[in-house]
Structure 1
Amino acid sequence: MTPEEAAAEEAEALATVEAELGSCGTWSTWTNTGTTSCGATTSCGYYWVCEPYAKEGDPESLVGGGGIEGAAPSCPLGQTARRYNYRGRFNQQSSYRVCFNEAGTYTHTEYQYQNIFNTCSC
């Protein structure tokens, strides 16, 4: 079975299970879970690094001290300019809704999560 066929089969099974349920309430408001993460984000700007072809970057090769620079730097022969986004902090938020069967009996609670940008640097 191809990955596409497996995904289609899984989606069909999920749709059947959801159709058998009575209903779910509305989603609650988003609330912070207390979990944070740190990752590269375009919201915080970027910097350029000259890197040898097909090799890991060297922090000492940072060109221009970082910052938002419009054009890629000119790199030495055998290297290429690579753009990296600065890191930012994200807050995880959650929301939930309660679901019931046709008889009005509680069946389960569904949760959804999202990460919201908080601030630059970690």
Structure 2
Amino acid sequence: MNTFLRAVVMAGASLAMAACGGEMTPEEAALAENEALTQSESELGSCNNWSEYNPTGNTFCDYRSCGYTWTCDDWYAKGSNAAAKETPDENILYCENGMPAYRVPNPGTFAETYSYRVCFDQYGNYTHTEYQYSSSLMACGC
């Protein structure tokens, strides 16, 4: 919709300037476009600012943000974590059989949170509510 408004504004501004006997500079065109878009968007309605994040009450277990441990379990040899070698210090961890240890991420419990904002039309009538979600680490371990 913004693209349509931008095209209408630019066409109208160009015609007006041509009728007055002059071409618009790029700076004048950008200024006219921004002013018209701001007015057009405000006339279409608005949404309030986002609220603070609030807990949803949902938690989940995920394997991030809680570090990792090393294992020699052969089951991990087939996974994507096999023989992780990110720094020279990690290369010193070897199993009894001489193979490198496998890095295994530790699980963490995460709390889901949400934020919302309320939207209105140009007449001040409620139209809809928008939500966005996030999560934060509560504790390592699940």
* TM-score, structure 2 normalization: 0.54
- What are the Cα deviations for residues 66-99 of structure 1, in whole angstroms up to 9, with x where unaligned? xxxx52422446x554312211111000111000
Q: For residues 1-122 of structure 1, what are the structure 2 equivalents within 5 Å?
A: 21-42=44-65, 44-50=66-72, 51=74, 55-56=78-79, 71-72=90-91, 73-75=93-95, 76=97, 80-122=100-142
* Larger helix fraction of residues: 2
2:16 matched residue in structure 1: none
Given that 1:52 and 1:80 are in contact with CA atoms closer than 8 Å, whether structure 2 keeps it comes out as no
5+ residue gaps, structure 2:
5-40, 81-88
- Aligned residue pair count: 94
Moved beyond 6 Å, runs of 4+? 13-16
5+ residue gaps, structure 1:
1-12, 58-69
RMSD of the alignment, in Å?
3.1
* Larger strand fraction of residues: 1
Structure with the greater relative contact order (CA < 8 A, sep ≥ 6): 1 or 2? 1
